[in-house]
Structure 1
Amino acid sequence: MLHYLQVGGPILWLLTIISIAAFAVILERIAFFSRNEKAIGDTFIRRNSFFSSQ
C-alpha cells in the first residue's frame, strides 16, 4: 500500500486522508444514533416546537 501511495503522489495521499476522515464521520454517526435511538425524532420534535412557538 505504501508503494502505491509513493508512486501516486500527493493527490493519492489527499484522497486517502479524505476517505479515512469520511469513514470516521460515518462511523461516529452510526455509533451516536445506535446509542441514542430517539435522537433523530427528538431533534425534529424540538426543532418543530421551537419554530411553532415563535
Structure 2
Amino acid sequence: MTGNAIAVVLVFVGLFLAGGVFSLFKQGLKIGAAVCAVGAVMAVTAGVLWW
C-alpha cells in the first residue's frame, strides 16, 4: 500500500470509531465512549501525520 492509502484507511477507521463514540454515549456507556474516543483521536491523528 502506498503512504496515502494507509493514511486514508487510518482516517476512515478514526471516523468509524467516532461513530462508535456517538453510539456508546447514546446508550449511556460513558467509559466505553471515552475509550473509543481516545482510539478515534489516535487513528485520525496518525492518518493526518502519515499523509
TM-score calculated relative to the size of structure 2: 0.49
Q: Relative contact order: is structure 1 or structure 2 higher (C-alpha 8 Å, sep ≥ 6)?
A: 2
Rg comparison, structure with higher value: 1
